[in-house]
Amino acid sequence: MRTKVIAGNWKMNKDFRQTEELIDGLKKSVNFDLQGVRVILCPPFTSLELASRIAKGTPFAIGGQNMYFEDEGAFTGEVSPGMLKGVGCQYVILGHSERRQYFGETDEFINRKVKKALATGLIPIVCVGETLQQREQNITEQVVTTQVRGVLKDISAENVEKLILAYEPVWAIGTGRNATPQQAEEVHVLIRKLLAELYGAATAERVIIQYGGSVKADNAADLLWQPNVDGALVGGACLKADSFSAIIEAATAKK
């Protein structure tokens, strides 16, 4: 039985004061009896240290939204995995579609980051997903297969069990149009089959695959309780304590 993982990707939202407000709100609204569900908060870099500090004593883990694959040096604007760990991060989102779309990140580049995160002891949440155009061209399977193979290149079975994959159809991100539970389950099954091909069935069964794309309080339960959906990567709905806590509750409530 895989645990469910709910991660909130705050993106470029919430300054210092708002970070405190949101985490205080979550402390009040989330039932800390999480029944094994993992909850991760991923604020912007500038709020990570504060978030780690005020989340102490709560079940919330902290994650970065990106990192570079070098330890230090002349890489203006970048942040290293060691720096993330140093401010209390256990997780890091890698290969988000916005990084691919606006900052030109490729599967090969993301793969280098995934390897580095694992080597540093961070758990990467690695994103894949097709665009609307690709879905309409009926090439979702091809696109997602290429991405998964690319981001996991030369990663061992032992390491693949440590990371989290997030299937995030680009057309569902921030659009209010979520994949139906059936559409999500279909792609998650495809990814798990691919993992079985690459790493064997036992390993594939253990890998956590989150769904992301317009997950909200009112659609979370149906998405989260698909057999191969092991949690959610949440954007917009994680920015308010009540909506994020309702999603967490949907993951903890037995269906």
Question: For this structure, is 188 an active site residue?
Answer: no
Q: Which of 98, 105, 130, 168 is catalytic?
A: 168
Which among 58-66, 99-107, 179-187, 209-217 is the span making contact with ligand PEP, rule CB under 6 A? 209-217
Check binding of 64 to ligand PEP (CB under 6 A). no
Stretch that binds ligand PEP, among 33-41, 104-112, 129-137, 213-221 (CB under 6 A): 213-221
**234 near ligand PEP (CB under 6 A):** yes
**Which residue in 173, 184, 246, 248 binds ligand PEP (CB under 6 A)?**
173
**Which lies closer to ligand PEP via its Cβ, residue 63 or residue 213?**
213
Q: Is 214 in the site for ligand PEP (CB under 6 A)?
A: yes
Taking the complex as a whole, how short is the minimal distance between the CB of residue 237 and ligand PEP, in angstroms?
A: 6
Q: Which is nearer to ligand PEP, 42 or 48 (CB)?
A: 42
250 near ligand PEP, judged by CB under 6 A: no
Three-class HEC string of the chain: CCCCEEEEECCCCCCHHHHHHHHHHHHHHCCCCCCCCEEEEECCHHHHHHHHHHCCCCCEEEEECCCCCCCCCCCCCCCCHHHHHHCCCCEEEECCHHHHHHHCCCHHHHHHHHHHHHHHCCEEEEEECCCHHHHHCCCHHHHHHHHHHHHCCCCCHHHHCCCEEEECCHHHCCCCCCCCHHHHHHHHHHHHHHHHHHHCHHHHHHCEEEEECCCCCCCHHHHHCCCCCCEEEECHHHCCHHHHHHHHHHHHCCC
Which active-site residues does the annotation give? 96, 168
